A and B are shown apart, each in its own frame.
Chain A
Amino acid sequence: MKIEEALQEEQSSGNTQLRNVYYALDEQGNYRQVLSAGCKAKHDALSLTWEYISKEAETIRQEVLAGKKSPLAYHIRMCLLDIPLLAAYTGLPKKTIKKHLEAKAFLQVDASILKKYADAMHITEEELKSV
């Protein structure tokens, strides 16, 4: 990669705040550090992944509103968590968490466990109960 190539990519990659160090060749063929926003493929990979996550989360949100799932299911998706990971953060059994993904069971969860969920996901208990 030449220095100009690294800099050219910056324009194609759109508006991002983050600049990274890259190593690229100067005219003499020696490596130098350049700052660039990185190539397009990287940004595409990131945006595809986030699109997929928000699409999934929206589906779950509709299910929650229809009373099929609990708000916990939605927040787990939003925080990119899964059941084993949330179990590791809260210290609760996986089976319990699985049960709490059902709308009915979630209504009966007591305050101390709600607090554990909320803490693990950086949100307040009120936010946890809503979608």
Chain B
Amino acid sequence: MIAFEHKPAAHCESGVTSNLLNFHGINISEPMVLGLGSGLFFSHMPFITLHGMAVTSFRPLPGKIFSRVTNLLGVKVKTRRFIDKDKSMQALDRLIAREMPVGVLVGVFHLPYFPKEYRFHFNAHNIAVIGKENGEYIVSDPVILQKETIGYEALKRCRYAKGTYPPYGKMYWIDRMKTQSPDLQRAVVKAIKLNCRRMLDIPLPFFGVHGIRLLAKRMRRWEKRFGTHRAALNLAQVIRMLEEIGTGGAGFRFMYAAFLQEAADILRQPECRKYAAQMTEAGDRWREFAAAAGRKFKNRGEDLCTYDELADKLMKIAGAEEAIFRLLRQTVNSYKP
């Protein structure tokens, strides 16, 4: 087995990226990976469905965080996808034989060690394969506290799961470093600028703060459109995305706030700590929204919100996040190292 330090993390992709970078000697925390990957995002896309309902996501497309971070840090990575399933497994074996930890994209429905209640057809989970013993693969899954093992057939099945965003056996690994001491200040500034653009400037209603407003707008009509029961299921799906492993949501707001605290030290900009506090507040609002929504779809308690009130909460969150990113943009735009 490769001497790979398995550190549990809040999110699979930032966790795998941080673990892989640590293995190659770049010591970097998970919030830093999320920040450098411009990983705070929101999208609500009625034209893509999961279990028959619109997809809401709190993260960029799978793979984006990894590629952005490695790009900024000057790390050369390799990514492969395969049509032939067995060839993809052989390629994985060859890399492991060379003592190279490999990140693979898997669908969670078939993951044998995953808790049953989390096994949906969700295809954007990242794990690192770090060894092979007695025909079983040893994997480091950041959302599981210990290392796990998985058989050949099971891993192959996970890597070729079907459905929304099929992984097609995608695997990635760090090939070599362009430089051992990357310029963190430059990287942080660039990453924050990109994150501001992604949250504020995409001229479509589905993404960034516009996406939050679109979700709010659609939510007001759910009950009329879908009936009480399906409206509740739609709300439950949003909350699952909000809180569940892999998609971030409120957890991402707190992690981004942790990144902003680190950024304050790196850039020597004390304002960033203020933005971190505001971001924490936004995260707390998301959690309040989740709690209110939870009471709503479980029909529990006295103070049940209507969909209109939930939508109002979302509109406030959208306003708060827009304000944070506008301020953040001013700070980094005027930043001189």
Which of A's residues lie within 8 Å of B, judged by CB? Answer: 1, 16-25, 29-31, 33, 35, 38-42, 44-50, 52, 80-82, 85, 88-89, 122
Contacts and interface: CB of A to CB of B under 8 A. Distances in A.
A31 B258 contact: yes
A48 B298 contact: yes
Contacts, number: 110
Nearest to B11: A21
A49 B251 contact: no
Interface in B110-154: 110, 115, 117-118, 120-121, 142-145
A46 B240 contact: yes
B223 to A, nearest CB: 16
B280 A1 contact: yes
A45 B294 contact: yes
Contact of A31 (B120, B145, B261): B261
B236 A45 contact: yes
Given A39-B291, A50-B117, A44 B297 contact: yes
A29 to B, nearest CB: 8
Contact of B291 (A19, A33, A40): A40
A10 B276 CA distance: 25
A30 B262 CA distance: 10
B243 A89 contact: no
A24 B145 contact: no
A99 B120 CA distance: 26
Interface centre among A21, A41, A44, A49 (most CB of B within 10 A): A41
B38 to A, nearest CB: 18
B236 A23 contact: no
A82 B284 contact: no
A1 B287 CA distance: 9
A48 B233 contact: yes
B300 to A, nearest CB: 8
A44 B233 CA distance: 11
B115 A23 contact: no
A127 to B, nearest CB: 17
